[in-house]
A = this chain, B = another copy of it.
Amino acid sequence: MKESLTQSLKRAAQVRANGTATLCGTRRRNWAESVERVARAAAGLRQLGVSEGDRVGILALNSDRYFESYYAVPWAGAIMLPLNTRLTAADLAYMLNDSEALVLCLDEAFIDLLPGLREYCPTLKHVVYLGDGPMPVDGMVGWDDLVARSEPMADAGRSGDDIAGIFYTGGSTGRPKGVMLSHCNLVSNAVNAIYMIGYDASSIFLHAAPMCHLTDGMSTLAITMAAGTHTFIPKFDAQQVLEQIAEHKVTNVTLVPTMIAMMLEVPGIETMPLASLRQFMFGSAPMPHATLKRAVDIWPEMLFLHGWGMTELSPIGTMLPMAMRKQAIAGDRLRSCGQAMPNLEVLVVDSEDREVPRGTTGEIVVRGPTVMQGYWKKPAETAVAMRNGWFHTGDAAVMDEDGYVYIVDRLKDMIISGGENIYSTEVENAISLMPGVAEVAVIGIPDDKWGERVHAIVVPREGAKLTPEAVQAWAREKVAGYKVPRSVVVRPERLPLSGAGKVLKNELRAPYWADRERKI
C-alpha cells in the first residue's frame, strides 16, 4: 500500500493510453505500448535469472529503451543501477563489482568497455543490448528480443522502503559511493517535482542531459507521473537540443550550467524558434553569474528554474516556488536556488547541527521522505552523513529571512588561507564576468605560510587572449585582497567535468597536493 515507482507508469497508461509516451528518433510509442513493453521486458529479465533485489546495471546513452529499462528493472522487483556514461572503465568495473550486478544493459557506445567489465565483475551473468541494429558482439540478448519473447508479468509490487535504485555518486572525492534510493524516496521527489515544476499531461520533456544522472532522472519519473511525453537525444549537443525543441515543441528541459553555457555559444541562438519552451531548469552545479546574465539577456521571457539537490536527496532539496519565479528572476533572487521542497525540512546549521542565524553561512542539512536509505555497503559513511537524524549535504549556504537558500560552496572546496574562509565560488563568479573568460575554477593549493593559497585555472573563450596578470588585476577590483588568486594558470583545454557536469576540482587539485594531505 506504499509508494511504488511503477504505480505512476500504470496510471499514465490508464489516463493517456493513446498519448505519446516516448519519441526517440523516428520511434513513437504510446503509454499503453510502453507499459506493455516494460511488463514484457521485466518478464524477460526474470527469465535471465533476475530475482527480487538483484542489481541490473544500465550503461547507455539516452533513448526510449533506456526509459523502458528504468521501469522494467523495478517492475521485475530488481534494483536499477544507472551507470555514469562519462566514467572510465575502471570506475564502471568498480561499481558493477561493488554492487554485484547480475545483468548489464548497454548500448553500442560502450561495447568496447565490455571485455574489461566482464573480467572485473565476476557476478555479471548476462548482457542485454539496448542499442540499435544487429547485436555488435555475440553472447548478448537484445532488448527488443527480450520484449518480444516474453509474456507481460504482473508488477512485482515492491514499494516503500524497498530499494528501487543504486546511484553511484560521481566520486569527486575518494571511491564512488552507491546511494540507495527507495521507491518512497523517488516517488516523493517526483510528486514534489510535478508540483514545483508544474508538469502536466501536456508537458513534453527533452532528455538531453545524461539519463544516468538524477538531474535528468527526476524528470524520467516526474513526467511519467504527470503522464506527459518523453523525447530523447543520445547525449548533449547544443545544436541538437535547439533543433529538438523546435521540432517536437518541447516544453521542458533540464541542463547543467555548463551545457547552458555551451548553448549560448551556438551561432544564431538569439533568433531560434523556442516558443514552445516553458522553462529551462538547471541544477547539479552553481550557474556562473555571467552565464545566467547572458541567458536572461537572450531570452528575457524565459523562466530559468534553479533547483538544488544531490543524489542523496533523490535529488531535489530546494527550488524556486512557482509563484515566485518571475519575481525571483527580476530581482536578487536570481542567485537563489529557492526554498525547501514542500515536504522537506532544510536547515543551515553550524558544526553542532544548531541552526545558524539567517544570513550566516553554514552547512545545509535535510530531513524528509526523499533522503536516501544509505550508502550501499558503507555503514560508517552512512552514519557520518546521517548523524543526529539529519542528512548532511556538505554544501555551505546562506538562508535569507524568507527561507531562500543561496549556495556558497562545497565545504570541501572552501579554501582556508591564513585562518580566513574563502569560498571558491565567490572568486569564480567574479572572474567569470571578465570578458574573454569561458571557464574558471578556483582551488586551494598548499602554502607553507598560509596553509592554503588561492589558485585559479582559467580557460579563455575562443580567440580571446588572457594573461595571469590581467586575471589577477580583474579579481583585485571585484573581491577582497586576500581572496585574489596568488597564482593563475591560463590553459586552452576545457575543465574536467564529472558525469553530473560538476568541475572535478579534486583532479585539478591533485598535482599540487601529491605529497600532502588536505585537511578539509
A171 interfacial contact with B, CB 8 Å: no
User: Which residues of chain B are near A399, meaning CB under 8 Å?
Assistant: 14
A 1-59 contacts with B by CB, 8 A: 1-4, 7-8, 10-11, 14-17
Could you tell me if A403 and B7 are in contact, using CB atoms closer than 8 angstroms? no
A 196-213 contacts with B by CB, 8 A: 200-202
Number of copies: 2
A316 interfacial contact with B, CB 8 Å: no
User: Which residues of chain B are near A160, meaning CB under 8 Å?
Assistant: 369
Q: How many residues of A contact B (CB 8 A)?
A: 49
User: Which residues of chain B are near A389, meaning CB under 8 Å?
Assistant: 1, 157
The listed residue (B14, B346, B368) touching A403 by CB distance below 8 A is B14
A226 interfacial contact with B, CB 8 Å: yes
Could you tell me if B191 and A345 are in contact, using CB atoms closer than 8 angstroms? no
- Distance, CA A519 to CA B389, complexed state (A): 53
A61 interfacial contact with B, CB 8 Å: no
User: Which residues of chain B are near A346, meaning CB under 8 Å?
Assistant: 11, 14
- Distance, CA A184 to CA B187, complexed state (A): 12
User: Which residues of chain B are near A17, meaning CB under 8 Å?
Assistant: 401-402
User: Which residues of chain B are near A11, meaning CB under 8 Å?
Assistant: 339-340, 342, 344-346, 403
A195 interfacial contact with B, CB 8 Å: yes
Could you tell me if A200 and B321 are in contact, using CB atoms closer than 8 angstroms? yes
A322 interfacial contact with B, CB 8 Å: yes
Q: Given the known A-B contacts A15-B340, A15-B402, A225-B343, are A367 and B7 also in contact in the complex, defined by CB atoms under 8 Å?
A: yes
The listed residue (B184, B201, B321) touching A323 by CB distance below 8 A is B201
User: Which residues of chain B are near A201, meaning CB under 8 Å?
Assistant: 321, 323-324
Could you tell me if B322 and A403 are in contact, using CB atoms closer than 8 angstroms? no
Closest chain-B Cβ to A189's Cβ sits at a distance in Å of 11
User: Which residues of chain B are near A184, meaning CB under 8 Å?
Assistant: 2, 369
Closest chain-B Cβ to A216's Cβ sits at a distance in Å of 20
Could you tell me if A191 and B195 are in contact, using CB atoms closer than 8 angstroms? yes
Q: Given the known A-B contacts A1-B389, A368-B1, are A343 and B187 also in contact in the complex, defined by CB atoms under 8 Å?
A: yes
Could you tell me if A402 and B1 are in contact, using CB atoms closer than 8 angstroms? no
Q: Can you name the residue of chain B whose Cβ is closest to the Cβ of A159?
A: B369
A 325-340 contacts with B by CB, 8 A: 339-340
What is A's interface to B at a CB cutoff of 8 Å?
Answer: 1-4, 7-8, 10-11, 14-17, 157, 160, 184, 187-188, 190-192, 194-195, 200-202, 225-226, 321-324, 339-340, 342-346, 367-369, 371, 386, 389, 391, 399, 401-403
Task: Please name 19 further chain A to chain B contacts, defined as beta carbons within 8 Å, in addition to the given A1-B386, A1-B389, sorted by A numbering.
Answer: A1-B367, A1-B391, A3-B188, A3-B369, A4-B368, A7-B343, A7-B368, A11-B340, A11-B344, A11-B345, A14-B340, A15-B321, A16-B403, A157-B389, A187-B343, A191-B195, A194-B195, A194-B342, A201-B323
